[in-house]
Structure 1
Amino acid sequence: MQRKMFLLLIASVSLMIFSATALAQQKFVGHLNGIQEVPPVNSTGNGVCTVTLNSTETQITVNATFRGLLSPANAGHIHNMGPVGVNGPVRFSFTGVSGTSGTLGPFTFPVTAADVADLRAKRLYCNILSTNFPGGEIRGQVKIVSTPFDFDGDGRTDLRVRRGAATGFYTLFSVNNSVATNFFGGANTLNSASDDYDGDGRGDFLLFTTGDILWRILQTATNTSRDVLWGNTTTLGDQLLPADYDGDGKTDVAVFRRSTGVWYIIQSSNNQQRVELFGALNDLGYVGDFDKDGKSDLTITRGTPNGIGWFTRRSSDNTVQIVNWGGTPAPAGDFVFPFAQIDVDGDGRQDHLVRRDPNAAQVQGDPVTYYILRSSDNQALIFQWGLDTDAALFGDYDGDGKTDFVARRNIGGELVWFILQSSNNYNTSQQRTVRFGMTGDLLPEEPEDEGILVNNF
């Protein structure tokens, strides 16, 4: 009865016509430091630049902060045609730039389609110049705020493993290929792609306890730990689904209660609790910005007679979008990944993805195939990548604004990351291979690695 009522609710919501115009404004962020300068600068300074793209994609609003420069700032710019490691020309200039610390903006600039393409492909960067460093003292690659696992702020996904509660995290930074160790022990860790809780453009550390869920977040902006008690995994069956639900560029603490179909969210913009009924018993919650308005939409998946049904309540206009993707012909052995931010076409919208293992009942090293529905043209992208014994991971490892795919495999006690990059047009013969980690790293409590099998009715 509960599921029938939910389906009736969907039908009624889908037919409603809303008079309000959707104010879709996506946010982008850059973490500024000296190491991203070309060539690198040995500066203690750092900063954050936020770029908000308006709904018609004709204007950006820019704000920036900086602190700790070694000499007074005298200019600031947004550069275009400058991917990671490349200097590009000045596109937009700031005014009123001075001092070793400061706050700049808001500045508004008209943008062209080419500017938006550069923005989405991470070819824009913010640069703060100073007296001693006329070419720039701190720089930050501008990226969409949902860029996953970017721990050094260069716009690319970094490799990270957790080596048990007593040892902590090991991170391979993409910006300079160095390894950092951080002890932040205890409890479990969540392999969630939404991981910037303080909005500084870098991923934060998250540990959590089962039962009554204690979220322990180590925020990189201040290097301080924040504890939040929110949800319950045992008696209430809550599913942890952190994401940016209010569009402020920061990850919100959130759970989806699978026993009731209710979402419980703490919005970082105002610290208010948000409770929403969207789903039914045993539905599976999912994250992602399907309507390109800068907010993660409430989304659930379930098996239906027509395959896997994706039900999304668009935050831009409150209408419900229903997509059937995967699960046919039954039993297809299709897995979904609730935490994964997937955008294979770089248009700023979440794409629908399943990973197919025809012999899902037995995990024995069979090849698996990805089926992705591209939001830009409603066409399928299909390729075989990895084995069912591999851990599946997703991120932007090449920094082009599109999702790359990882099959992480244990070979002789060493973790080998086989990365299929979008910059190579997902050509499986041009994989990138990185050896990082060892047996026991990335604990089994991290559910994204395996995916969740969805069966049809």
Structure 2
Amino acid sequence: MVASGLSAGVATASAAASAVAREGVVVAAPAGKAIADRYVVVLRGGVAVASAGALARQYNGTVTASWQHALQGFAVNASAANAKALAKDPRVAAVYQDAVVSIDGTQVNPPSWGLDRVDQRRLPLDQRYHFGPAAANVRAYVIDTGVRVSHAAFGGRASWGTNTTGDGNNTDCNGHGTHVAGTIGGAEHGVAKAVRLVAVKVLDCAGSGSFAGVLSGVDWVTANAVRPAVANMSLGGGAFEPLDTAIRNSIASGITYAVASGNSNTDACSTSPARVAQALTVNATGADDVRAAFSNFGQCTDLFAPGVGITSAWHTSDTATNSISGTSMASPHVAGVAALYLQRHPAAPAGRVHDAIVRNSTAGVVGNPGAGSPNRLLYSLFTRWAPEGDYNGDGTTDLTVWRPSNGTWYVRGISTTQWGIAADVPVPGDYNGDGTTDLAVWRPSDGNWYVRGIGTVQWGIAGDIPVPGDYNADGVTDFAVWRPSNGTWYVRGISTTQWGTSGDVPVAADYNGDDSTDIAVWRPSNGTWYVRGITTTSWGGGSDVPVVGDYNGDAIADLAVWRPSNGTWYVNGISTTQWGISGDVPVAGDYNGDGVTDLAVWRPSDGTWYVRGISTTQWGVQGDVPLAS
């Protein structure tokens, strides 16, 4: 960000000479990377950035950029002696020698395979890339060499953000940034094929820049990003604390960062921004799942992604492609996956996005990961993040009823299938982890679970209440029952836990955002929610109906009840909304695929679904059981 609005003036020679006499310490640049007479100044807390111009002039310096969003400080051109004097000023926290930042090295023209790898747990490749909702509501900020926004791969979804290099060339004259953008969200080579891409140019035509320029880019993103947002930084240049601080602050503002670990076959803890713990730091693998020979490694990194021979968009024409290698190519795979997650959970804080992606990755498949590296490979299919009641995998809850009189499932626009008999209890879920909801019933008479196309499992006895969920965060619905007679939860193959008493209503859901279903009950007698290990909260009571869902898109289940007497939805800490009338059945779900639970009711008298702000649709008849989950 170019500094503006700073007062003019020239410091006197005597003042400058006096200042030089009080020399402080300038933090040295990484070896061989220093840019002569250019420095990054970090201000102490409480010192206004607006004072940068006057402060710099006092030491015969010229401000070239200032920052106040990701970092409180400025870039200055000054002699080495004056920089040392500036470092002694009581308003200054530290002065750093500016240094060269560059893209990571590349290898041209090997084969491409990355997308095919990230959507499957194990080799061999299946020659397919599977993806659901493609992140149309998410923005990805490409902090790099710029982006050829007119490239056909972006279909009008790419735009220009800012250029901090000072070259006045608002395009990608190197190719690296366009390639990265294509991997994040290109129509052919992209992970998130509908994400909106924003170019943040911090490196020049040679793929080189300064820490000051990168800081300006990060500061711009922090101030201007439209959330939900992810930023990719496929660059590096040695350890530099101001950049680390800026990225930490930007992440704290709600922006997820994916960064390359570097291509020096060394410990990533020695480079910035790779060493930032809050960022997703990415190492590279080849098509054999072995760490690339060039890839950095170590405990400062989070996971691996494909980075050898990755084909993507190129800058030389609107249809050009190129195949190159580097951790620069691995990082945008992760940025794309972050965009997919944010499409499902648009209000999720960056820390939750980080943890979910790492947790969802495949463990133990990377060969020679390097000392201290986590042996985890990126996995892009988030079956556990799919909405409930999604029978075709398109990321939206489908209008569905089950008819006890004939055991038939009617899924609007998708299928009509006989499965189950009268007296069965419908228990739809994702029992094979493929990201789509399976037809299933539980039979109280024999405790059998009948899952169409998958199998029959005996679990539970008459009087139990089925409570299917993903209790171990493996992306597969588990067989589970809650026994009112003793308040015990029986989760097949996982746990037996006493929680609740007779008269309680089981309300299992993910209440802390760790991707696993939590054991929970709601007690009508006192309106209290008892969520094991997490919270005890009074919300609702009497004849209310609990309607758990994620009503703000932060990837955490919210406490909510629907009150039949007045048709009002009470969502704890979020909203109070009248929707529905007495006699309706609440059917909360994500009916438009935006990652937020929608208010909805089904009216038995006429079989109509009323989904607030989305649709009114007749589907089903009196006596049917509506299924939103």
Scaled by the length of structure 2, the TM-score of the pair is 0.43
The answer on 1:435 being equivalent to 2:618 is yes
Q: Which amino acid aligns with 1:302?
A: R
Give the structure 2 partner of residue 312 of structure 1: 531
Q: State the match for 1:399 in structure 2.
A: 593
Q: 2:536 aligns with which of 303, 316, 322?
A: 322
Q: Counterpart of 2:513?
A: 292
Distance in 2 (CA, whole Å) between partners of 1:143 and 1:121 is 17
Moved more, 388-397 or 162-171: 162-171
**Contact 1:406/1:419 (CA < 8 Å) preserved in 2?**
yes
- The structure-2 alpha-carbon separation of the partners of 1:112 and 1:302, relative to structure 1 and needing over 3 Å to count, comes to same
Residue 250 of structure 1, CA deviation: 0.7
In the other structure, the counterpart of 1:253 is 479
Q: Is the 8 A contact 1:121 1:401 kept in 2?
A: yes
**3-state DSSP of counterpart to 2:579:** strand
Cross-structure match for 1:26: none
Task: Assess, with a 3 A threshold, how the Cα gap between structure 1 residues 405 and 347 changes in structure 2: closer, same or farther.
Answer: same
Matched, 1:183 2:418: yes
Structure of higher RCO (CA pairs closer than 8 Å, 6+ residues apart): 1
Looking at structure 2, the residues matched to 76 and 183 of structure 1 have their Cα atoms a distance apart, in angstroms, of 29
SS in 1 for 2:342: helix
When Rg is computed on C-alpha atoms for both structures, the one with the higher figure is 2
Mapping for residues 52-451 of structure 1, pairs under 5 Å: 62-64=118-120, 73=127, 81-82=135-136, 90-91=183-184, 109=331, 110-111=334-335, 115=339, 117-121=342-346, 144-145=384-385, 147-164=387-404, 166=406, 168-172=408-412, 178-192=413-427, 195-218=429-452, 224-233=453-462, 237-266=463-492, 272-303=493-524, 307-313=526-532, 319-327=533-541, 333-337=543-547, 340=548, 342-358=549-565, 367-373=566-572, 379-410=573-604, 414-420=606-612, 430-442=613-625
The one-letter code matched in structure 2 to 1:356 is R
Structure 2 letter corresponding to 1:291: N
Task: State the secondary structure of the residue aligned to 2:431.
Answer: coil
Query: For 2:445 and 2:128, how far apart are their aligned partners in 1?
Result: 53
**Per-residue CA distance 1:235-287 (angstroms, 9 max, x = gap):** xx322111000100111010111111211001xxxxx2521122234333211
The secondary structure found in structure 2 opposite 1:437 is coil
Per the TM alignment, residue 188 of structure 1 is displaced from its structure 2 partner at its CA by 4.1
1:243/1:253 contact within 8 Å kept: yes
**Matching residue of 1:376:** none
SS in 2 for 1:242: coil
Deviation at 1:112, TM superposition (A): 9.5
Q: How big is each residue's C-alpha offset from its partner over 1:344-383, in whole Å with a ceiling of 9 and x where there is no partner?
A: 000000000111234xxxxxxxx4111011xxxxx24101
Q: How many residues align?
A: 305
Given that residues 384 and 515 in structure 2 are in contact (C-alpha distance below 8 angstroms), is that contact kept between their aligned partners in structure 1? no
- Describe the shift of the 1:334–1:439 C-alpha distance in structure 2 as closer, same or farther (beyond 3 A): closer
- CA deviation vs aligned residue, 1:388-425 (integer Å, no higher than 9, x gap): 211211110000001012221245xx5211111xxxxx
Asked whether the equivalents of residues 402 and 426 of structure 2 are also in contact (C-alpha less than 8 Å), the reply is no
- Give the Cα separation in 2 of the matches to 1:273 and 1:246: 8
1:280–1:357 distance in 2 versus 1, CA, 3 Å:
same
1:189 CA drift (Å): 4.8
What is the SS of the residue equivalent to 1:371? Answer: strand
Helix, strand or coil: the match of 1:117?
helix
Q: Which whole-Å CA distance do the structure 1 matches of 2:131 and 2:564 have between them?
A: 48
TM-superposed CA distance for 1:288, in Å, is 0.6
Distance 1:146 1:239, change over 3 A: farther
Counterpart-to-counterpart distance in 2, 1:390 and 1:200:
32
Letter in structure 2 aligned against 1:287: A
Structure 1: runs of 5+ lacking an equivalent: 1-48, 51-60, 99-104, 125-139, 173-177, 219-223, 267-271, 314-318, 359-366, 374-378, 421-429, 450-457
The CA deviation at 1:301 is 1.9
Aligned to 1:23: none
Tell me the alpha carbon deviations over residues 125-180 of structure 1, each in whole angstroms, 9 at most, x when there is no partner.
xxxxxxxxxxxxxxx996753511000100001111223454622211xxxxx342
Change (3 A) 1:432 1:97: farther
- Between Structure 1 and Structure 2, the one with more strand by share is 1
What is the rounded CA distance, in whole Å, between the counterparts of 1:78 and 1:387 in structure 2?
35
Deviation at 1:183? 2.4
More helix by share: 2
Gaps in structure 2 of 5+ consecutive residues:
1-114, 139-153, 158-181, 192-284, 289-303, 307-329, 348-352, 354-379
